[in-house]
Chain A
Amino acid sequence: MSAYLDGELDAESSLAVASHIEQCATCRGNLAGLQSIDALIQGLPKIEVSKGFSRRVVARAKEWDGLVLGNRSETSAFASLLQLFEDLLDALVKDKVPVTHTLDEFRDFPPLSMGCIYFQIMGQSPRGQ
């Protein structure tokens, strides 16, 4: 009956319920009862949206945009600063640390450092010993 009231039955079922209701006083009463419940719910007073509600929401959205853009530019500024720092570090240490891409780079490592120990285990010596 509830689905019939909401128009959610297929055409055949809806027709069957409609013709039954015409003949059955109890079901007519039930339907009227359900309709009166709906009318009560629809009759509940509505509250009005306060003045300027949509403007306040849009202002919040703009504020949020500002935060997101601010975060993006902060992230970008930090990335640039980090890159600058890395370039500077590269320039400073470039001449001091030999980059040979060979085991010679381990020449100055202490004998008990992990690097030296590894090569000793592997049967090589960074010191060419």
Chain B
Amino acid sequence: MDDSDHALIKAIGNGDHLAFERLVQRYQHRVLNFIFNHTGDRHTAEDLAQEVFMRVYRASSDFEPRGKVSTWIFKIAHNLCLNEAKRFMRSERLHRTLHAQGIGAGGYVSSQGVERHEYERDLMHALEGFPDNQRAALLLRVNEGLSYAEISRVLSVSVSSVQSLIFRARTRLRQIWGKQ
């Protein structure tokens, strides 16, 4: 059986659950950690990762075979991370309002569910402060090994923008680290 990503997507489009499970197993670790590095929360990352694969499943018959499956999956994951960030900002505003009114509700704690060393917490904290596109471009390059062209498709920006995003992210991190 052809085990390539494209063959699996085609089989999934025909309702093959075994092919779907194989694709999930192939990407689950990368997708989960990509989302986790955005959200800093294990449970949210797992929920969103499930949603990524469900979207892949539902849209598999519409997949354009010219593109790479991995790029498509990371694009879905990135879009879900953006939605989650917006949802979090809304709830954060609500929490702050409730807190100001003495109704309670604690703030968001970074990296929930995972023990982290100090430098890792600092790094995560620094990354959280980056614009979404900068953080995503850097993580897709450094951790996932995507090329600039692939990242440009994930983020829907030009290749030169990707180059600039990654350069700025690295420079900024270096500045932050240089001060420590």
| Residues of A participating in the B interface, judged by any CB pair closer than 8 Å | 1-3, 6, 8, 33-34, 36-38, 40-50, 53-58, 60-62, 64-65
Contacts and interface: CB of A to CB of B under 8 A. Distances in A.
Given A37-B174, A57-B50, A49 B123 contact: no
B125 to A, nearest CB: 12
Given A37-B177, A45-B114, A61-B20, A6 B141 contact: yes
Given A37-B177, A53-B24, A61 B57 contact: yes
Interface stretch (B29-37, B88-96, B97-105): B29-37
Nearest to B178: A33
Contacts of B170: 2, 34, 37-38
Contacts of B167: 1-3
Nearest to A8: B148
- Counting from the closest, the 6 A-B pairs by CB-CB distance are A2-B167, A54-B24, A61-B57, A41-B142, A57-B53, A49-B28
B80 interface: no
A64 B33 CA distance: 26
A30 B130 CA distance: 21
24 contacts: A1-B167, A2-B163, A6-B166, A33-B178, A36-B177, A37-B173, A40-B119, A40-B173, A40-B177, A44-B37, A44-B123, A47-B114, A49-B29, A53-B49, A56-B50, A57-B24, A57-B53, A58-B20, A61-B20, A61-B53, A61-B54, A62-B17, A64-B54, A64-B57
Q: Give the secondary structure class of B's interface.
A: helix
Measured as residues with beta carbon below 8 angstroms from the partner, the interface class of chain B is 35 or more
Contacts of A36: 177
B15 A65 contact: yes
